[in-house]
Structure 1
Amino acid sequence: MSPSMSFLLRTAPDKQLEKGIKRILSEVADPPKRTGGVTLLYYVMRNTDAKLHSKAGRVLRFLLKDSTLSFCDNFPQGSGSTVEVVSSTLERICKDYKVEELSVIWNCLYQEVNKSILNKQSVHLSRLLTVITSAVRIKKGLKVHGKLLYC
């Protein structure tokens, strides 16, 4: 199910992609469903070979937006669940891929951090730092790509 659903999300127009991601995130406000949400988002960004999908950056930009990371804040059990799901998804990607393949992820994270600093969005910055911290812990920071590209 995850590979076929991930294909639909990757090929969807921006509005539909955002709607699909938010639908997944609304489901993960319920703790037992978080693993399924992480798996689905993981498959959206991976390719069939040992590389990330060419549209992983597009998907990640939606996941890192302030409106996305704060999406479940008003859900009864959802406070922080979005950040947890995005963090877990990136942790899994960092574990499964070589550092060379992760440049798009680090670049998107760095760009979003810079944007939130410039716009003085401290709550969003705090959420992003939580996501980054969880990804940096993988292999004691050896999965951090030092060369920045653009996502």
Structure 2
Amino acid sequence: MNGVSGGTVLALVGVLLGTMGTLVGQHLATRVEVRRDQQRQGETERAERKEAILEFLAAAQGVELVLDRRSLGLPAADEPEDKILHALWLAKKAVELVCSHEVAQAAHDYTEALHQIIRGVVANGQASTQRERRHAFMEAARCELGSNRPRLQR
């Protein structure tokens, strides 16, 4: 091998190594960016689930307030029962849209129990069923949001 062809080969090797380095660098940068995008998407989805769960809990709390006032013999709240039940069912549907089947089913069961109690389909003494449904929903929601804490003892 003479000096000219040796220099040419070394130049080609240098170009090849440079190209390989660039390709590897681009691949690693793309992989990191994809991972970042997946993490951002996961955080966005969790925020949507959390918002739906909190809205559902606020609507359920409104119904429970009416039931509490009723059981204590206090005057009815300002909002009609139809309006608060409508808000509860609407919030339950939002949970169905963004949460897992388990959370959606727990929200439905809890909503149905509250609906039946407020409409007088079952006696207000069904508070144990109401509590059980609320606890089931809360545990499902905690799992949905990735809580690592141990289950609450009820």
* TM-score higher than 0.5: no
Structure with greater contact order relative to length (CA < 8 Å, sep ≥ 6): 1
Higher helix share: 2
TM-score by length of 1: 0.31
Greater radius of gyration (CA): 2
